[in-house]
Amino acid sequence: MADTPLTDSGIRRDGRARAMAERPNEAGLRRDGMLERLRLYGLSSPAILLILVILVLPVGWLFYVSFIGADGSFSLENYERMIKSKSYTRIFMTTFQVSFLTTGLCILIGYPLAYFISQLPPRLANLCLITVLLPFWTSLLVRTYAWLVLLQKTGLINTWAISLGLWDEPLKLVHNMTGTLIGMVHIMLPFLILPVYGAMRAIDRDFMKAAANLGATPKRAFWTVFFPLTTPGLFAGSLMVFILCLGFFVTPAVLGGGKVIMVSMKIVSNIELFVNWGAASALGVVLLVLTVAILWIASRFLRLEQIAGGGH
Amino acid sequence: MLNWFKSPATETQVTHGQRLWLYVLSVIIMVLLVTPTLIVIPMSFSDSQYLEFPPEVWSTRWYSNYFGSDEWMLATRTSIKTAFLTMLVATPVGVLAAYGLHASNVRFVRATFVLMITPMMVPLVLVAVGAFYAYARLNLLYTIPGLVMAHTVLALPLVVIVIGAALKSYDMSQEEAARSLGAPRWKAFLTVTLPQIRFAVVTAALLSFLTSFDEVVVAMFVSGGDNPTLTRNMFNALRDQIDPTIASISTMMILVTTLMMVLAQIFGGQKQPGGH
């Protein structure tokens, strides 16, 4: 590497130290290397520019608007309203309630399934994984619609349950909290299962053998050896689910039937119905700050790409 | 059969019989994951307003409704156009960004990576409201370019993650070898690196297409007028009443998704799509 001609590029780090010792013009070389790396970095500029113009600047503007009162001067009234008004408090309570319940249900349902699939032979496991990936890829609007059709009063579940004698009157399964939770859990499950499954697959099965060999009961071996090794995946998955739930709009809007009002829905109605940008922005800022705070705390335990990329 | 029940299923000698509950539970969950989506397909062929299952009278009336409606056809064209353009923009922009970040090794690469995946973390409603405001001033509201740009921003994190993962397992010294033999950097990238990450590129492209095609919230705000998307119209129809036409549209959207999944499996190689 040290013998290659001095072009402006292609000098690897390990080669650079040697090149510097032998070459007198190391300062120039270093500058060339830096310029080359900056040029390479420049390749990401279209992406950066798009994200800045479409996302960062407008959200920054929302931040600003949230501090402007109805009379056009600086004021905290948009935030005060959030604390004082009972309806806003209720919206935040609902949002947290839905997010916590969905995350908890996803863990309860997703963990056993991930465990089951992770112990199957690879071919069968891949087949079972399709049942997780198919809904993951399907439009969430389509899945929400499917639940609406199944859960409505004249829907499949009510008609079948009544004909089987499970209940007599059609139950109200949709346009309320029940319907919202069913839809949300169905949509969020893959986000939990995939990272947990990844973490489980990566565990060396001999650990469990060793635990059994050393006299641990199956239960003890599971809880002291297996489960702790899956916690990073479980943590990443739960976090992703929780954050997605906090800002979710489509499913609660369709399946909640106006009875489950979450923060994102209030933001939309503030703009569409009341054209109140200040109130909408303030809600948006709180939602964003919450999300960032949770991610920031999580990033001390996990790398961000683990959360985004699913646990590993 | 009895032997199977008594045979050990795990390293800790738990037998299949003792774990029967896990098998039953898992199968139930898997059925519940898949059926709600798939059941829409036969239901869309029901003649009844209430979408019976199994349909008592089969008919394609909801499909004729869909194909006969100018409004739905316009929305379908907008959605396909937007998704296709988003794929064409997001893929090269994302590949360039992922490659630049991978190769450049400057101090702020990490911060830039975080910026690249923010669109995935910021609540969609905020992206939508922000874009709505910006487009109103830039005269991009209800236009295809505006929609494509917003969807590109949403697709970029996926592209950068998928391509970044592929580059991580790719040995960059191959490109250096090409360059030491005299190839300029762009040529080395196009002829040596790109062919080897092509599966990831295809996966990223398909993901970008689906991201745009399925997106609802941003489309609700910045599409409309002459360019409403399919999802926007579907969402509005869902809020009013349950129009069975949507079942036929849903069926077609499921087909598009399945097609993409199959394509990703064929061209995306052995790796699981979506960076998992």
Please judge whether B131 and A58 are an interchain contact, meaning their C-beta atoms are less than 8 angstroms apart: yes
Please judge whether A112 and B26 are an interchain contact, meaning their C-beta atoms are less than 8 angstroms apart: yes
For residues B179-206, b (16+ Cβ closer than 10 Å) or e, as one string? beeebebeebbeebbeeebebbbbbbbb
Please judge whether B22 and A115 are an interchain contact, meaning their C-beta atoms are less than 8 angstroms apart: yes
Whole-number Å distance between alpha carbons of A141 and B254: 11
Q: How far is A46 from chain B (nearest CA, A)?
A: 6
Whole-number Å distance between alpha carbons of B102 and B167: 7
pLDDT-derived band of residue B264, with 50, 70 and 90 as boundaries? confident
pLDDT-derived band of residue A311, with 50, 70 and 90 as boundaries? very low
pLDDT-derived band of residue A246, with 50, 70 and 90 as boundaries? very high
CATH code of B204's domain: 1.10.3720.10
Of B276, B161, B270, B243, the C-alpha closest to B208 is B161
Mind listing the pLDDT tens digit for each residue in A15-62?
A: 555 655 666 678 888 888 888 888 889 999 999 999 999 999 999 999
Please judge whether B33 and A189 are an interchain contact, meaning their C-beta atoms are less than 8 angstroms apart: yes
Q: What is the pLDDT of residue A29?
A: 85
Choose the closest CB to B125 out of A10, A206, A247: A247
Residue range(s) of every CATH 1.10.3720.10 domain in chain A: 84-309
Tokens read off for A183: 């839809």
Q: What is the pLDDT of residue A4?
A: 45
A194 vs B: CB within 8 A: yes
Q: What is the pLDDT of residue B201?
A: 94
Give the long-range contacts of residues B185-190, CB within 8 A, separation 24 or more: B185/A9, B189/B99
Give the B window 178-207 contacts with A, CB below 8 Å: 179-180, 185
B152 vs A: CB within 8 A: yes
Whole-number Å distance between alpha carbons of B222 and B220: 6
Burial of A7 (0-12, 13-18, 19+ CB in 10 A): exposed
How many domains, in total, are found in chain B? 1
Q: Which residue has the tokens 């409505």?
A: A152
% of chain B beyond a pLDDT of 90: 61
Q: What is the pLDDT of residue A14?
A: 56
In a domain, B76, yes or no: yes
pLDDT-derived band of residue A10, with 50, 70 and 90 as boundaries? very low
A303 vs B: CB within 8 A: no
- Count other Cβ atoms within 10 Å, centred on residue B276: 20
pLDDT-derived band of residue A306, with 50, 70 and 90 as boundaries? low
Whole-number Å distance between alpha carbons of B92 and A178: 43
Please judge whether B124 and A249 are an interchain contact, meaning their C-beta atoms are less than 8 angstroms apart: yes
Cβ neighbours of B122 in A, within 8 Å:
55, 59, 247, 288, 291
Kindly state the DSSP code that residue A68 receives in the 8-state scheme. B
pLDDT-derived band of residue B273, with 50, 70 and 90 as boundaries? very low
Q: How far is B29 from chain A (nearest CA, A)?
A: 7
Mutate to test the interface with A, among B7, B12, B31, B114 (most CBs of A within 10 A): B12
Closest residue of chain B to A289, computed from CA coordinates:
B122
The whole model's pTM is what? Answer: 0.88
Cβ neighbours of A198 in B, within 8 Å:
276
B41 vs A: CB within 8 A: no
B162 vs A: CB within 8 A: no
Per-residue pLDDT averaged across A115-132, rounded?
A: 92
Please judge whether A139 and B152 are an interchain contact, meaning their C-beta atoms are less than 8 angstroms apart: no
Q: How far is B93 from chain A (nearest CA, A)?
A: 6
Please determine, for residue A152, whether its predicted confidence score (pLDDT) is greater than 50.
yes
Whole-number Å distance between alpha carbons of A241 and A95: 13
Please judge whether A51 and B153 are an interchain contact, meaning their C-beta atoms are less than 8 angstroms apart: yes
CATH architecture of the domain A84-309 equals Orthogonal Bundle (1.10)
pLDDT-derived band of residue A298, with 50, 70 and 90 as boundaries? confident
pLDDT-derived band of residue B275, with 50, 70 and 90 as boundaries? very low
In a domain, B207, yes or no: yes
ipTM of the complex: 0.88
The length of chain A in residues reads 312
pLDDT-derived band of residue B194, with 50, 70 and 90 as boundaries? very high
Cβ atoms of residues B245 and B72 within 8 Å: yes
Please determine, for residue B104, whether its predicted confidence score (pLDDT) is greater than 90.
no
Cis-peptide, bond into residue A218, ω within 30° of zero: no
Mind listing the pLDDT tens digit for each residue in A176-211?
A: 999 999 999 999 999 999 999 999 999 998 899 899
pLDDT-derived band of residue B10, with 50, 70 and 90 as boundaries? confident
Per-residue pLDDT averaged across A146-172, rounded?
A: 88
Quote the domain boundaries for residue B119: 69-267
Please determine, for residue A227, whether its predicted confidence score (pLDDT) is greater than 90.
yes
